[in-house]
């Protein structure tokens, strides 16, 4: 297979490998991205899942996966992946397992682990050129425990630990660039609401060897404060407003895979989410809205040159 | 001691209700415990919260097994064994159900000898966007015990909800006071229960497991896709219904976007919804290009056989 497998949405898989019955919230953007990713990767995978919302997927004796899954502490999923990769390599080397039974080792963590606690072990795994795929579902906070802010939380967002009138004072960490600075074979951003772009990138990543890292933007109805039915719409708005750039790092270059030619104002994206409601009510906070818009504009000015 | 258990769905404000009621009791000079209980469940899933209040020190801990008052914020939970609405009720228990169905009918259906009350959800028949607030539920409980004054209820709502903004406070106050008035004729119908003596305590039925090494004792699952057995369709309050006349067999966008993998594509390219697992997020409805999917309130849905078991 090649990247050409997915030319149009008509080529997207119509079989669903990840099964239902999970305890994820209704309208979960992370689960949506995960099932789209799983349909491409297939069941010959081992998911190494750091503590977070998604560890609730497999609660004994129930699992939605058709392949393997295991659970690690929050900061150590890449270390767990190293162990699994080594074990598989040894089994193949000793001819105790035929090479065609080999499994793709996939780390699955939230942004709390990816942007924060697990960043060191990820960095080390990239240094060791570990052959693995890292999927970070980024819902911009510690969603599983009630949406406290994380290093992925955007500026001004209200979280359980940033309730003031200006929201979160920090800025979302640029994990894509941090990962890319290690010069791994592949880094990409995706979102479940852009399934074709997602499919192409997962396909490309699964054909490469070595550390490949994906950040999946994951609208979170519970943590961000919106009606679950708007989950996909908000993902689309994040792309159309330029808040979430879809891009990949490959062969030492960053390529934007979907450039919104006419960006919708960030306001359209912000105003549909409870976590930004303090920017609009009781009084419009022009200063903060303009600041967020200016940062997005500056980003794209640099991209478009 | 008052023992009050709130049943609802994640997102309906049961935790908020328990906190408001707990604070209101506290303002009346009671010793109080209030806590929600939820595990790996999410918005839409059955959850419960509880309050104990007593003029004496409270030595009981954990979930309430013998409630004096049970409040059910979503009547679809009553039939759901997992919700455990009727757990531990006796003829002295008062059950209040937020429902359009009359109390007498519920009493019959449940074959329950004690008092059953109902309160009609606001805006019934207009919108499914806004359910009862936590304040309304707390207001009902406050009046039924007869131990909480209107002033304490108001103060508790302000104290608990002010971080959420004045609009939330006002909505909750409005709902709480209207339900507080509505329940006037039943004031004090919930009698305080007596404290359970230490001597009468029965330890839980714990199973003692011998220590085994990791190979044996780790919870390994040796089968695939077992979560299929969990019927998350029970979380659903609104049901997506496909109009196959309008469906244009696009590239199964509804199926791709459905987070639950609950929409499959049949041989003819038409999507089919698995109502046993659909949580009713309604993403499919908002994303269907020809608008072939509509939302029907679950209790009004026809042929709801998938959801009856």
Span A47-67, average pLDDT? 93
**Chain B positions in Cβ-Cβ contact with residue A234 (cut-off 8 Å):** none
B contact test, residue of A6, A21, A60, A197 with most B CBs within 10 A: A21
Identify the pLDDT of residue B207.
84
**Chain B positions in Cβ-Cβ contact with residue A62 (cut-off 8 Å):** 221, 226-227, 229-230
Confirm whether B267 is domain-assigned.
Answer: yes
A26 and B219 within 8 Å at the Cβ level: the answer is no
A contact test, residue of B281, B286, B288 with most A CBs within 10 A: B281
Domain shared by B56 and B134, yes or no: yes
- List the one residue out of A103, A115, A105, A104 whose CA is nearest residue A52: A115
Asked if residue A135 lies in contact with residue A94, where contact means CB atoms within 8 angstroms, the answer is: no
Domain shared by B258 and B160, yes or no: no
Confirm whether B240 is domain-assigned.
Answer: yes
Asked if residue B89 lies in contact with residue B65, where contact means CB atoms within 8 angstroms, the answer is: no
A62 and B282 within 8 Å at the Cβ level: the answer is no
Confirm whether B224 is domain-assigned.
Answer: no
CA–CA gap between residue A190 and residue A300 (Å, rounded): 17
Span A40-69, average pLDDT? 94
Domain shared by B144 and B284, yes or no: no
Confirm whether B221 is domain-assigned.
Answer: no
Identify the pLDDT of residue B240.
97
- In angstroms, what separates the C-alpha of B183 from chain A's closest C-alpha? 31
Nearest to B228 among A20, A27, A59 (CB): A20
B11: closest chain A residue by CA: A222
- In angstroms, what separates the C-alpha of B264 from chain A's closest C-alpha? 7
Residue listed under structure tokens 């309208």 = A27
Span A140-158, average pLDDT? 95
Range of the domain at B68: 2-198
Domain shared by B153 and B239, yes or no: no
Q: What is the pLDDT of residues A207-241, one digit of tens each?
A: 999 999 999 999 999 999 999 999 999 999 999 99
Which CATH number covers residue B267? 3.30.70.20
- List the one residue out of B3, B67, B74 whose CA is nearest residue B34: B3
Identify the pLDDT of residue B309.
36
**Domain total in chain B:** 2
Asked if residue A196 lies in contact with residue A8, where contact means CB atoms within 8 angstroms, the answer is: yes
Nearest to B251 among A9, A63, A163 (CB): A9
**Average pLDDT score over chain A:** 95
A contact test, residue of B46, B238, B261, B282 with most A CBs within 10 A: B261
Nearest to B43 among A20, A25, A67 (CB): A25
Domain shared by B194 and B254, yes or no: no
Q: Is the peptide bond before A21 cis (omega within 30 degrees of 0)?
A: no
Asked if residue A99 lies in contact with residue A143, where contact means CB atoms within 8 angstroms, the answer is: no
Domains of chain A: 3-304 (3.40.50.970)
Identify the pLDDT of residue B40.
54
Identify the pLDDT of residue B39.
62
Compare A289 and A23 and report the one with higher pLDDT.
A289
Domain shared by B59 and B135, yes or no: yes
Q: What is the pLDDT of residues B240-251, one digit of tens each?
A: 999 999 999 987
Domain shared by B135 and B250, yes or no: no
β-partners of residue A258 are A246
pLDDT above 60 for A151: yes
Q: What is the pLDDT of residues B62-114, one digit of tens each?
A: 889 889 999 999 888 898 887 889 999 999 999 999 988 999 999 999 999 99
Domain shared by B181 and B65, yes or no: yes
Domain shared by B272 and B153, yes or no: no
Strand pairing category for A132-138 and A211-217: parallel
pLDDT above 70 for B38: no
Domain shared by B236 and B164, yes or no: no
Which CATH number covers residue B190? 3.40.920.10
Domain shared by B149 and B32, yes or no: yes
- Global pTM reads 0.85
B280 and A26 within 8 Å at the Cβ level: the answer is yes
Domain shared by B193 and B242, yes or no: no
Out of B198, B217, B239, pick the residue that ends a domain.
B198
């Amino acid at each position: 297979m090649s990247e050409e497998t997915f030319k149009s949405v008509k080529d997207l898989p119509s079989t669903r490998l990840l099964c239902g019955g999970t305890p994820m919230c209704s309208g979960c953007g992370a689960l949506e991205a995960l099932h789209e990713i799983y349909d491409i990767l297939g069941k010959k995978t081992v998911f190494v899942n750091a503590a977070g919302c998604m560890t609730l997927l497999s609660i004994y004796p129930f699992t939605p996966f058709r392949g393997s899954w295991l659970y690690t502490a929050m900061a150590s999923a890449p270390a767990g992946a190293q162990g699994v990769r080594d074990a598989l390599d040894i089994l193949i080397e000793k001819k105790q397992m035929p090479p065609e039974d080999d499994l793709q080792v996939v780390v699955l963590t939230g942004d709390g682990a990816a942007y924060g606690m697990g960043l060191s072990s990820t960095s080390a795994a990239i240094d060791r050129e570990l052959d693995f795929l890292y999927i970070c579902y980024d819902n911009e906070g510690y969603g599983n425990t009630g949406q406290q802010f994380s290093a992925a939380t955007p500026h001004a967002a209200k979280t359980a630990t940033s309730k003031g009138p200006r929201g979160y004072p920090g800025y979302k960490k640029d994990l894509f660039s941090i990962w890319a600075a290690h010069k791994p074979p592949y880094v990409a951003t995706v979102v479940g609401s852009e399934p074709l772009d997602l499919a192409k990138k997962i396909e490309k990543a699964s054909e490469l060897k070595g550390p490949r890292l994906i950040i999946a933007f994951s609208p979170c109805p519970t943590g961000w404060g919106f009606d679950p039915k708007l989950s996909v719409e908000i993902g689309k708005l994040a792309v159309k407003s330029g808040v979430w750039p879809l891009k990949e790092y490959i062969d030492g270059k960053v390529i934007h895979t979907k450039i919104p030619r006419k960006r919708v104002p960030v306001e359209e994206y912000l105003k549909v989410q409870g976590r930004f409601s303090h920017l609009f009510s009781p009084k419009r906070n022009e200063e903060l809205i303009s600041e967020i818009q200016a940062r997005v504009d500056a980003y794209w000015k640099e991209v478009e040159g | 001691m008052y023992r009050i258990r709130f049943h609802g769905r994640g997102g309906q404000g049961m935790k908020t209700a328990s906190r408001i009621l707990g604070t209101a009791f506290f303002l009346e000079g009671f010793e109080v415990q209030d806590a929600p209980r939820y595990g790996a469940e999410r918005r839409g899933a059955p959850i419960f919260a509880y309050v104990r209040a007593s003029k004496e020190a409270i030595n009981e801990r954990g979930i309430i097994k013998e409630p004096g008052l049970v409040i059910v914020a979503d009547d679809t939970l009553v039939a759901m064994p997992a919700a455990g609405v009727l757990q531990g009720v006796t003829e002295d228990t008062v059950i209040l159900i937020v429902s359009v169905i009359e109390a007498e009918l519920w009493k019959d259906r449940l074959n329950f000898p004690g008092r059953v009350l109902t309160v009609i959800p606001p805006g019934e028949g207009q919108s499914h966007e806004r359910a009862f607030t936590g304040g309304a539920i707390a207001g009902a409980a406050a009046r039924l015990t007869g131990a909480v004054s209107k002033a304490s209820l108001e103060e508790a709502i302000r104290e608990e909800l002010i971080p959420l903004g004045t609009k939330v406070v006002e909505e909750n106050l409005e709902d709480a006071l209207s339900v507080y008035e509505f329940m006037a004729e039943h004031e004090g119908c919930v009698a305080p229960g007596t404290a359970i003596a230490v001597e009468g305590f029965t330890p839980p039925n714990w199973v003692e497991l011998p220590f085994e090494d990791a190979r044996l004792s780790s919870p390994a699952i040796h089968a695939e896709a077992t979560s299929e057995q969990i019927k998350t369709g029970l979380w659903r309050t609104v049901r997506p219904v496909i109009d196959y006349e309008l469906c244009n067999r696009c590239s199964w966008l509804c199926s791709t976007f459905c987070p639950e993998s609950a929409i499959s594509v049949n041989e003819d390219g038409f999507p089919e919804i698995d109502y046993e697992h659909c949580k009713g997020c309604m993403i499919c409805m908002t994303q269907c290009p020809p608008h072939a999917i509509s939302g029907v309130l679950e209790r009004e849905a026809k042929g709801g056989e998938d959801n009856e078991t």
